[in-house]
Chains A and B, each alone.
Chain A
Amino acid sequence: QQPVQSPQAVILREGEDAVINCSSSKALYSVHWYRQKHGEAPVFLMILLKGGEQKGHEKISASFNEKKQQSSLYLTASQLSYSGTYFCGTVLLGGAQKLVFGQGTRLTINP
């Protein structure tokens, strides 16, 4: 079951904040976040496990709401280097041990 990401695209000015959401209709064990720049491989950002945790990575942080089966990625004071497509990947609770990715959110940061 593919998770649903929103929004599909975001355009920001440097220094502005953004939130990207990832929702699942089924119970999750974990949520991964990756960033992919055009023509390159996705790069791992962080994992969140069931239990409703929050994590941070420089000015990029994320939360996992177990009740809603939703994860949110927060980008604070965005930098030009944050541009790219962000993907969430989910592993279902009690399901096959495979990561299923959302369709991606394209983030564009302008000077």
Chain B
Amino acid sequence: DGGITQSPKYLFRKEGQNVTLSCEQNLNHDAMYWYRQDPGQGLRLIYYSQIVNDFQKGDIAEGYSVSREKKESFPLTVTSAQKNPTAFYLCASSRGTGEGLYGYTFGSGTRLTVV
């Protein structure tokens, strides 16, 4: 079955360390996204990519970095520059952007805790 796989499900990081969250999809979707969700709040866009080797900053990109070397993969690195990284991170994909014509498929998320 096609879908999005995020790993790990839970991640603990010490302050000052960088950490990379994995996101892989086998849906043949062109566009991929990273969102951050804090308790009781909505989803905020970190980065998005419409095609391989290209990505754009979202609303809260500071302290994060991404790469899109393969269509299937869109890893997110949370750097030590991110002041408050503890959150639930969701990866999503869609067939394209096309001004929001396509629904998003979400992965099951990674819960990151800084200790």
Contacts and interface: CB of A to CB of B under 8 A. Distances in A.
A99 interface: yes
Interface of A: 2, 29-30, 32, 34, 40-44, 46-47, 49, 87, 89-91, 93, 96-104
B108 A40 contact: yes
A46 B104 CA distance: 10
Contacts, number: 67
Does more than half of chain B's interface fall in helix, strand or loop, or is it mixed? Answer: loop
Nearest to A87: B42
B103 A41 contact: no
B45 interface: yes
Given A41-B109, A42-B90, A100-B59, A91 B43 contact: no
Contact of B100 (A40, A91, A103): A91
A49 B42 contact: no
Going nearest first, the 3 A-B pairs with the smallest beta carbon separation are: A91-B100, A97-B97, A44-B103
B43 A29 contact: no
